C-alpha cells in the first residue's frame, strides 16, 4: 500500500459538533483529495489541494473546510456536523493533476447521530 494513513478510522459524533479527519502521506505527492462515498452516489470530491496552503473546492464542499500546512498532512473539518454528513470519507494522493493513478487511504467511517 502507498504510504497514506487516515485517522481516525471510525468515529461517532453528535450533531452540531466539530469534527476533524486527518490524512497523512509519506509519498511526498503534491496533490491530495478528500472524497465521500455514499450508497447510490459513488465517490464525490469534497476538496482538494495542489500544494501547501493551496486548496480548492470540489463538487460537494458545503459544510466542509480543509487545511494543508505541510506537504504530508491534509485535514478535513466538518465545522458543525449534520446527519447528512454521515458517510465514508476517503483521502487520495497523486503526483499529477489526474494524469496518473491516485492512491487511496483505507477510509474513515463517520456517523453523525
The site for other proteins (CB under 8 A) is made up of: 31, 33, 35, 40-45, 48, 50, 56, 58-59, 90, 92, 94, 97-107
Q: How far is the CB of 81 from other proteins (least distance, A)?
A: 22
Cβ atoms of 3 and 27 within 8 Å: the answer is yes
- Closest to other proteins by CB, 10 vs 70, is 10
Give the C-alpha separation, 62 to 18, whole Å.
14
Q: How far is the CB of 55 from other proteins (least distance, A)?
A: 11
Q: Which residues contact 9 (CB under 8 A, 6 or more apart)?
A: 106, 107, 108, 109
Amino acid at each position: 500500500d502507498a504510504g497514506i494513513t487516515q485517522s481516525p478510522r471510525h468515529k461517532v459524533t453528535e450533531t452540531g459538533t466539530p469534527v476533524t479527519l486527518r490524512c497523512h502521506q509519506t509519498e511526498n505527492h503534491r496533490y491530495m483529495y478528500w472524497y465521500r462515498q455514499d450508497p447510490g452516489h459513488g465517490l464525490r470530491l469534497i476538496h482538494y489541494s495542489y500544494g501547501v496552503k493551496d486548496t480548492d473546492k470540489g463538487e460537494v464542499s458545503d459544510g466542509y473546510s480543509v487545511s494543508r500546512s505541510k506537504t504530508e498532512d491534509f485535514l478535513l473539518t466538518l465545522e458543525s456536523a449534520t446527519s447528512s454528513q454521515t458517510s465514508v470519507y476517503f483521502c487520495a494522493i497523486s503526483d499529477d493533476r489526474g494524469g496518473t493513478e491516485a492512491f487511496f487511504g483505507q477510509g474513515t467511517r463517520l456517523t453523525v447521530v
